[in-house]
Amino acid sequence: MKKADVAKAILADQLFSMPQHSCAEAFAPTNIALGKYWGKRNQELNLPVTSSLSISLDNKGATAQLKINEKHRDDIILNNRLIDPTSSFAKRLIEFLNLFRENEKPNFDITIQSNIPIAAGLASSACGFASIIKALNNLYGWNLDSQELSILARLGSGSASRSIWSGFVEWHAGTRDDGMDSYGEPISTLWPDLIIGLLIFSEQDKGLSSRVAMQRTIETSLLYNSWPSKVAHDLPLLKQAIATQDFELLGKTAESNALTMHATMLSAWPPINYCLPETLLTMQKIWRLREEGLPIYFTQDAGPNLKLLFLKNSLADVRSHFSLI
């Protein structure tokens, strides 16, 4: 099964229909996984080995604008910079857009404005593809529901399937070969006192994409065999922590999940290490502060930056130790 077959299955007669508007835009939040997606059972469709669970950052994400142009090419402007059409980012985005238009027409001016560093392990591809699919839905007037948007966003990037919603979202791994049961589902519980603080050590491109890193991990790391049981252990605990607003349980489960994911990468060959010296020094600082009584935890994705987890009543304390963005 190909991506194009999934687009056809969801859009049916609406696939390759005429856009209803000449311009449309949409916002999607970035999401931070507390229980990670690491490894695919199907690379073409971005079907994951395990389910995962995230929280969206409402005020941080991407706004995508699609405007039909007559230039016979797509122009992509990312954070006010025209992107080289031969770059891997542009190719991936154009390949995604081509799923929804016949013979690569119409062409678009695509403007993506993101208020988080791109490709620094801050889930920017997630909000990028989620905002694009939402903008396409508006442009073509498809009227798809959120579950269908989640499936289509997943074809661009797995974690984008969770960026359709705000708040907590579980992405069900599903078991079907066509992935029609692999989509995000919002968890209705709100937790207004929970804060995710971003600590940026580097805004450089992370070098190795999560796509390549997770595949290498699956293929070469013996530790990867234990990853599905780690996730099966952690996801119910995360859901319990959210339901009962048990911050300690949430923090330790999320931190341990992230560290286990990175352990599978370190044991891959060639080894994969996303940490900078600052990343490790900051982990030690967090562990020390926690021992001294500050309730603070972290998570880390496929990049050197850390995301801090803490409650609103610790904000002043946390700010006195870290400069958050």
Which residue number, 125 or 253, has a Cβ lying nearer to ligand DP6?
Answer: 125
Segment 186 to 245, residues that bind ligand DP6, using CB under 6 A: 210-211
* Interacting residue with ligand DP6 among 50, 56, 111, 125 (CB under 6 A): 125
Q: Which stretch binds ligand DP6 (CB under 6 A): 31-39, 138-146, 281-289, 305-313?
A: 31-39
157 lies in the binding site for ligand DP6 (CB under 6 A): yes
* Interacting residue with ligand DP6 among 62, 78, 119, 123 (CB under 6 A): 123
Least gap, CB of 37 to ligand DP6 (angstroms): 3
Measured from each CB, the residue nearest to ligand DP6 is 158
Residue 80 has which token pair? 């006010």
Which residue number, 82 or 259, has a Cβ lying nearer to ligand DP6?
Answer: 259
Given a contact cutoff of 8 angstroms between Cβ atoms, the answer to whether 55 and 95 are in contact is no
How big is the site for ligand DP6, counted in residues (CB under 6 A)?
15
Least gap, CB of 250 to ligand DP6 (angstroms): 16
Given a contact cutoff of 8 angstroms between Cβ atoms, the answer to whether 243 and 189 are in contact is yes
Q: Which stretch binds ligand DP6 (CB under 6 A): 32-40, 227-235, 248-256, 275-283?
A: 32-40
Q: Which stretch binds ligand DP6 (CB under 6 A): 110-118, 152-160, 175-183, 187-195?
A: 152-160
255 lies in the binding site for ligand DP6 (CB under 6 A): no
Exposure of 312 by Cβ count < 10 A (0-12 exposed, 13-18 middle, 19+ buried)?
exposed
117 lies in the binding site for ligand DP6 (CB under 6 A): no
From edge to edge, which strands make up the β-sheet containing 297-300?
194-199, 306-311, 297-300
Rg of the chain in Å (alpha carbons): 20
Segment 298 to 317, residues that bind ligand DP6, using CB under 6 A: 301-302
52 lies in the binding site for ligand DP6 (CB under 6 A): yes
Which residue number, 144 or 153, has a Cβ lying nearer to ligand DP6?
Answer: 153
* Interacting residue with ligand DP6 among 46, 51, 217, 305 (CB under 6 A): 46
Least gap, CB of 17 to ligand DP6 (angstroms): 27
Least gap, CB of 289 to ligand DP6 (angstroms): 25
**Antiparallel, parallel or unpaired: β 107-114 and 75-78:** parallel
| Angstrom distance (rounded) from CA 32 to CA 126 | 10
Single-letter code of the amino acid located at 267? S
Which residue number, 19 or 156, has a Cβ lying nearer to ligand DP6?
Answer: 156
182 lies in the binding site for ligand DP6 (CB under 6 A): no
Which residue number, 3 or 36, has a Cβ lying nearer to ligand DP6?
Answer: 36
Q: Which stretch binds ligand DP6 (CB under 6 A): 11-19, 29-37, 83-91, 99-107?
A: 29-37
Provide the binding-site residues for ligand DP6, judged by CB under 6 A: 33, 36-37, 46, 52, 123, 125-126, 157-159, 210-211, 301-302
